[in-house]
């Protein structure tokens, strides 16, 4: 138990190379948009690219914490899915049911000219010192390719205004104080120890 705690502490404190893009983009075809992100990620060994609804993201630390927890869960065998990007969604949403976690994912534009507020988290699941990566991967190139292939225009969509604060509090079922904790990356993962619900098996 003590060794496991030390391992988890090291994982918590170790840095994961992460880049976050946030802005507006038209998504006329959701399947094609997600396929584009997957295609970009496949060009870089060990890189994961995951899109989220920026209207439900309480800042960059919210996403970085979700990445940290998802990677830690995978390495300790506690992940609910074999898809690391989906695991990030689970922790970002603070929900351990995949169907409910997808609510924080992106959705298609409903009409011509409809732009979605999107946060794209890009991270390197292969770390320096693990025998696979000699130096830190430059994720700026990955981010540039995401922008070029999706048409995402960077904007300050992660900033919290009053309407967004209320939307996030309702989604997470939290108070104002708890919202601040989510924004600092301290509030995701409620229900982390709960049993698996419907559709939570690995490999989905």
pLDDT digits (tens, 9 = 90+) for 141-159: 999 999 999 999 999 999 9
Is residue 110 predicted with pLDDT exceeding 80?
yes
Q: Mean per-residue pLDDT for 122-140? A: 77
Is residue 103 predicted with pLDDT exceeding 70?
yes
Q: Which pLDDT belongs to residue 49? A: 98
Q: Mean per-residue pLDDT for 51-74? A: 94
Is residue 196 predicted with pLDDT exceeding 60?
no
The beta strands (E) that lie in 109-186 are given as 115-124, 153-154
Provide the whole-model pTM: 0.79
Mean pLDDT of the chain, nearest integer: 83
Q: Which pLDDT belongs to residue 185? A: 59
Name the H helices within 18-75. Answer: 30-42, 60-75
Phi, psi at 8, each rounded to 5° = -65, -35
Query: What DSSP element (H or E) covers 87?
Result: helix 84-93
Q: Thinking of the domain 13-158, which architecture would CATH place it in? A: 2-Layer Sandwich (3.30)
Above pLDDT 90, what percent of the chain? 57
Q: Which pLDDT belongs to residue 181? A: 72
Q: Which pLDDT belongs to residue 180? A: 75
Under DSSP, the state recorded for 196 is P
Left if phi > 0, otherwise alpha if psi is -120 to 50, otherwise beta: which for 27?
Answer: beta
Name the H helices within 82-161. Answer: 84-93, 98-101, 140-150
Q: Mean per-residue pLDDT for 89-95? A: 90
Q: Where are the domains of the chain?
A: 13-158
Is residue 134 predicted with pLDDT exceeding 80?
no
- Name, of 27-36, 96-105, 126-135, 174-183, the range with top average pLDDT: 27-36
Is residue 54 predicted with pLDDT exceeding 80?
yes
């Amino acid at each position: 138990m003590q060794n496991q705690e030390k391992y988890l502490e090291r994982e918590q404190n170790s840095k994961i190379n992460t880049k976050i893009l946030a802005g507006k983009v038209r998504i006329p075809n959701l399947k094609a948009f997600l396929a584009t992100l997957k295609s970009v990620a496949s060009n870089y060994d060990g890189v994961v690219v995951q899109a989220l609804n920026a209207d439900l993201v309480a800042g960059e630390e919210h996403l970085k914490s979700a990445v940290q927890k998802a990677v830690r869960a995978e390495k300790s065998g506690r992940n609910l899915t074999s898809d690391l990007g989906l695991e990030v969604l689970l922790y970002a949403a603070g929900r351990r049911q995949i169907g409910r976690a997808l609510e924080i994912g992106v959705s298609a534009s409903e009409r011509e000219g409809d732009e979605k507020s999107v946060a794209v988290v890009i991270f390197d699941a292969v770390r320096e010192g693990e025998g696979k990566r000699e130096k830190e991967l430059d994720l700026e190139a990955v981010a540039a390719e995401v922008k070029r292939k999706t048409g995402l225009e960077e904007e300050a969509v992660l900033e919290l205004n009053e309407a967004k604060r209320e939307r996030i509090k309702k989604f997470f079922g939290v108070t104002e104080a708890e919202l601040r904790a989510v924004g600092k990356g301290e509030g995701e993962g409620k229900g982390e120890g709960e049993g698996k619900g419907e559709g939570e098996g690995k490999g989905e």
